[in-house]
Amino acid sequence: MTAVITTRGLVKRFGRLRAVDGIDLDVRTGDIYGFLGANGSGKTTTVRMLLGLVLPTSGEIELLGGRMPRAGRRVLPRVGALIEGPAHYGHLSGRENLALLDAAGPGGSWRTRRRRIDEVLEQVGLAGVGRRPVKAYSLGMRQRLGLAGALLRRPELLVLDEPTNGLDPQGITEVRELLLDLHRGGTTVFLSSHLLAEVEQLCSRVGVLDRGRLVLQDELATLTAPTGATVVHTPTPDRVRATLDGRVTAVDGQRVVVLGADPAEVNARLVSAGIAVNGLALERPTLEEVVLAATGTSTDRVDARP
């Protein structure tokens, strides 16, 4: 697959602080790439370097085949971005703010630009309030407007930094469905977030940043692949241990982990021994467990520390 974002040995120092420490990102065409990390781990600094907003101390960046920041004028019109929350003119309406953004882009008739603004306002759920002054918008509405601005030019690559910030659960679901729809239409998505649940539900590839270092990068399906064990739910875990002597690796209440990747075989052994089985499934690590193993973080919010 074609590389969309590639970095080699990317470093950013602020004085003695090494905010980004030699990372090698690999984002490919068609990815929904989840860039996970705690607040302060270097995610936003990395994103700003990708877009040419901050110069790296050392290392290389390629964006859509162009070397950044030198190729910025050529490649950035093909990129939509929402970084560190949207900035808007509060006295202007949502439509007027988008018109200003569009005016900085390639030409096109006024009618065409107006139609495109209508389309993106509809996409992000602001069609009914596009003429209202932005100063009257809630935080979630401003976030939606920022996302609308990122979509104006129908980008090949969408770079988002905490796009669901300020949204209620319904809004989060709507943004997730919008991103999936854009992905189905051919847009590559790079999503920076500290929320494991958001990334696990949406992304196909994952990179984990911990104190400036990329400690993990792989397909989500690979990271959460079956472990070769079967999880048995039973009211009599002691009988399972006795029957499958040597194969039980863990017991947690009524949950028993048994070596063997064939649930049907495990079930047949237990049923033939007269043991009640309430459920069986292949054991798979969650993304939370994978991140915990890589970083020592033990919560669904990567930014929380023990």
Segment 3-43, tens digit of pLDDT: 999 999 999 999 999 999 999 999 999 999 999 998 889 99
Pairing of strands 3-14, 17-23: antiparallel
Q: What is the mean pLDDT of residues 63-92?
A: 90
Segment 130-153, tens digit of pLDDT: 889 999 988 888 888 989 999 998
pLDDT-based confidence at residue 297 (cuts at 50, 70, 90): low
Percent residues over pLDDT 70 in the chain: 93
Pairing of strands 32-37, 188-193: parallel
**Token reading at 18:** 């090494």
Segment 84-125, tens digit of pLDDT: 767 788 999 999 999 888 655 555 677 888 889 999 999 888
β strands within the chain, DSSP E: 3-14, 17-23, 26-28, 32-37, 58-63, 66-68, 79-82, 157-161, 188-193, 205-210, 213-219, 229-233, 248-252, 255-259, 279-282
d(CA 187, CA 206): 17
8-state DSSP, 93: B
Q: Are 83 and 54 in contact (CB under 8 A)?
A: no
d(CA 216, CA 97): 39
Percent residues over pLDDT 90 in the chain: 64
Residue 199 phi, psi dihedral angles, 5° rounding = -70, -40
